[in-house]
A and B are shown apart, each in its own frame.
Chain A
Amino acid sequence: MALDDRKSHFTFVGTRPNRPDGLDKVTGRARFGADVTAPGMLFGAILRSPHAHARIVRIDTSKAEAHRDVKAVVTRADFADVPFKPGLEGEFWNVLENVMAGEKALYDGHAVAAVAASSALAARDALKLIEVEYEVLPHVTDVDKAMAPDAPVIREGAADYSVPEGMHPNVVRYHESGHGDVEAGFAEADLVIEDHFVTEATHQGYIEPHACLASLGADGKGELWCCTQGHWIVQKTCAALLGIETAQLRVTASEIGGGFGGKTTVFIEPVALALSRKANRPVKIVMSRSEVLRATGPTASASMDVKIGMKKDGTITAAQGVFRLQGGAFPGAPGDMTAMCAFAPYNLTNVRQVGYDVMSNRPKQAAYRAPGAPMGAFAVESVIDELCKKLGLDPVEVRLKNAVREGTKASYGPTYDRIGLVETLEAAKAHPHYSAPLKPGQGRGVACGFWFNHGGETSVSLALSEDGSAQLMVGTPDIGGSRASMALMAAEVLGIPYENIRVTIADTATLGYNDVSHGSRVTYASGLATIKAAQHAVEKLCERAAAKWGIPVDAVKWENGCAVPSGPNAGDFDPLPLAEITADMGRTGGPISGHFEATPEGAGVSFGTHIVDAEVDPETGKTSITRYTVIQDAGKAIHPAYVEGQFQGGAAQGIGWALNEEYIYGEDGRLQNPVFLDYRIPVASDLPMIDTVIVEVPNPGHPFGVRGVGETGIVPPLAAIANAVSNAAGVRMRQLPMSPPRILAALKGNG
């Protein structure tokens, strides 16, 4: 147990022990989505549309079915005509339509049929035997063009009540919020800047492709193994799509090789189940990288207009933003989130924000770390940087001057509880990075970012063993080190060593419902539930001690892993260690467990401030990030190394998004770069060492003060990097990614 960096009243929380999954992962023993097999297993493969938008006139699967190695072929017909829960609605219908196309193929890569065969090669070859007749339709992949009057309609009637009359049917949700009088505010300003910003869609880029092994019998009972951020939503969704009862499908989450929000839904899982049901054999499906990029959810692309007014002293007088987000051929682009987060760091008297959710012929967008927030921050923080530059003001001072604090009314409505934005800005100002000299050709950028964080449905069980060790069952897949942080929190309550606690991600049959690992919720919500479950077990331990000593239970308290009399009047008994109580538990009342379930509401919002130095080669437009510092409020860092990892990961993905990652569509509506050679995520040598500062302003909604840290870290990078690059190049970059051709063109256009 590493206690050398202990500096608080906590014993275990705040230390940096080795990760419990470390040995498995470095030795290859960890089992990821594609690592399991079953007796008699078949291999599934999915036929995908080569067209961006096409009516499916006819699918002839007879030749594939006649292939000697093929055991099942499925199309949409194998999902729609279900005896149970007919007529799927809402998001279930959208997911079904996405996992297997109905009347139309809606994007390049949209699944139209699938086969299961006795080998992966046979399955791949059998796809070529399926004949699909398409009637190709006009398509649109750009958000602004998708909103234009002459745009092809993706689907009539997809819009909800929020959309104002007269908008194109591709606009499916509308958000508007704010307060004050922005026009009056702009009139008070000494300088008003309004600009247009564009970001391209990027993929979460998890290294592990989607993979699953499914088995579903004619009795409606199924087993599913898959890599996912949340297996209860997989259970619920697959059961609905296949018309079986939820409890009859047992889903186990594999070890996961990255998700970042992209594995919070299903793609291949219902298909594998349908194939298995038809073939009466287990079916495994593993996506290729091209399938991942073409057919799983990237983030939304955005077109944005932001207008901000500022006084000469740096006071923001008014702010207004219009955020149009394209989320593929289904409702769901987080235009509302973009709008609500965009101005959230600032105390504004007058603010108005509008968000659009727009459909186009692209894959259904999926969550990606703080969905929607990074784009809005890019636009807003760029305009603030430009205002600071034109007014000769320090960008950190201006942000401090306008920063939200406890009691400030947020741009999106509520009043903030205790928050840590000011602390991150003060830390930025004091950090040596902020005052370090820049070399010629370099520029510095800063930006702030905000994310709500989330609680969500949570259930945790803890069971004590006779030898005094503990097993903890949580339902949130470990995507960021949560097994380590759960063990630390349980150790803190139980008073037993971290190493004596084994944390398992329980399957859907062994624990109550848990929401997915998203919304930066796991350390907060599963952590809170872990603490409460451990306290529940401690109550029982105290009861056993009280019974042994023959004193009332309220005369016993728990201290350093032992039951002790609560005071001198309670009696004179030696401390009774946990292991001594559990050794006898079979004879003193039976097994001792703790349990907790709730939907905690006090997640606590989170803010961060990033400082970036960039160097631009003026002859080629190539950018290198020379220095990067992340400062973020973690509330309380349970395992600081993992918190730093989250900060660094957000910065790394932000660097990719800002500089080179993008979905590139051809005139034909096909994705041009569905491989990692041309979808350019950063390689290790592209990144500088990323410095981190953990600010700890405790969240009053968590027993130990935790705020989620997984998402806020990707909110400031786009803006901070754009500000650094713009300052280095001497020309404002308003379009992402800031790829070398775009920067060189801007430099040439500038003179």
Chain B
Amino acid sequence: MATLQLNNITKHFGDTAVIKGIDLEVNDREFVVFVGPSGCGKSTLMRIIAGLESATDGDIVIDGQRMNDVGPADRGLAMVFQSYALYPHMTVEGNMGFSMRLAGVPKEERRAKVLETAKILQLEPLLDRKPKALSGGQRQRVAIGRAIVRNPSIFLFDEPLSNLDAALRVQMRIELARLHEKLNATMIYVTHDQIEAMTMADKIVVLHDGVVEQVGSPMALYHHPANRFVAGFIGSPKMNFFDVELISTSPEGVQVRLPGGGECTVPVNAQALENASSENTPIESQPALELGIRPEHLVLDEAGALSGQIEVLERLGGQTSLYVRMGDLLVTLMTDGDVAYRVHETIRFGFAPERAHLFAADGRALPSLAQHPLAGLTRHDNRTSGDAEALA
């Protein structure tokens, strides 16, 4: 049982505000991922939760208890560092048992607990080695083992996979997900890699410039980004953005003119925009709108509303990325692996209006009229259905 609550956390380093008022709730057994570009404050936020950094203002509440003035070791947390931060002069066993040694746990008991943890992580044959005699993946597992031994209520991971090579990273990702299942623990994970966030999180917290841009399940963030930043950050390749002209609004959505002259009605709620704008200006007087569409939602279509010349073609086998020149814009389009187009050919393409997103001048997204059916889906739902299939 462990919940975490952050109330209006701020952090200043001198005159620079790094964290600008963050409220967040982490539920028991949740896998929460803080994601954002470097310098967004995600690591600082984690260090504040860990107690390695003090918050300038705001409360950190763990299991209903205010923890601001409690030392890092007494918060019931364990942290896995990006650099692993193993104790180089101790063996694997010494590393994993260090917290118990400090706590005065007798040697026998220490050994038993370390062995038990080593079994989970397949570290038994390595217990007598020093960290320098381990591979990157093994060091990572020792660092995780050191955290598990402490039996923490919340695990903190600070970009733990960024020092591993790509293949190992995928493997560790799966291992971590499995571990989350097995330990039934609350986990908070910091990364700048949106793929790690999408694949592992029950809940993603997108941070940018010290503020939370959006909190939600991976599918919710993908299908209903709250603003242009989240839309651009989540999803790979990056979403395409077009400047569009407003034609009219109606209960069915917002009609816009696309570059190249085509028209399209995006099923979003224009009302929200009108309500929110301070002077109650009607949407017509706010012509700066941006339309966002993901590369995988653009489809090749002879009758499509958009056209451009292929500038670069990347064939991945199963899929092909087309980089299409449209005036000043370079549009990315993901399509079938077997398309026969060549560079410099001109193609026409379009999209289903319900796949498009509209962003107001301040970057806020106009809310979709219909919720995506999978937007409420969490990683946990994927797991249970997957397990059920495996059993069947």
Determine if chain A interacts with chain B: no
Interface residues of A (CB under 8 A from B): none
